[in-house]
Amino acid sequence: MTSHFEAIGYVQTMLIAVDWAGDPGMKLGRGSLPRCIMAVIVCVDEEALRSALAELRHARGLRKGFEFHYTKLDDQKLKEQFMQAIASKVIATVAVYEKERMTPSGSRRKQLELKGAM
């Protein structure tokens, strides 16, 4: 089945990144973290995002392939500039859940926090 957008020659693609902290598995007990934090970032205009990051690299005198690893950046001003550069280019969502409040089937999922960022 062809969608309306495909029929008129328009197909929109998105760049999606997912990361998590903690163990997303359902192992409960000794050695397991009680929570899992998941972050999802969606970018509809990948070229605009790449351009904004390239401009920031150039303005700060960073090499062309410099990767922004937020937790490894020691320069607080660069962190702020990075967040400003991507703020209008992405939609971010963070979810925190307690595994103890979930059954393995997921029927009792209890999210503690779900909020949009940026």
- The per-residue pLDDT for range 79-113, each reduced to its tens digit, is 999 999 999 999 888 887 776 665 444 433 333 33
C-alpha dist (Å) from residue 98 to 53, 73, 92, 111: 35, 29, 20, 7
Asked, for residue 6, whether it belongs to a domain, the answer is: no
Asked, for residue 4, whether it belongs to a domain, the answer is: no
Q: What residues make up the domain containing 39? A: 13-117
Angle between helices 76-87 and 46-60 (to 10 degrees): 150
Asked, for residue 5, whether it belongs to a domain, the answer is: no
Asked, for residue 54, whether it belongs to a domain, the answer is: yes
Asked, for residue 41, whether it belongs to a domain, the answer is: yes
Specify the 3-state DSSP secondary structure of 81. helix
pTM for the full model? 0.60
Rounded to 5 degrees, what are φ and ψ at 35? -125, 160
Tokens, residue 47: 């070229």
What pLDDT does 29 receive?
Answer: 64
| Domain tally, the chain | 1
Asked, for residue 109, whether it belongs to a domain, the answer is: yes
Asked, for residue 1, whether it belongs to a domain, the answer is: no
Asked, for residue 37, whether it belongs to a domain, the answer is: yes
What spatial distance separates the first Cα and last Cα of the chain, rounded to whole Å?
Answer: 36
- The answer, yes or no, to whether residue 37 has pLDDT greater than 90, is no
Q: Which residues pair with 18 in a beta bridge?
A: 40
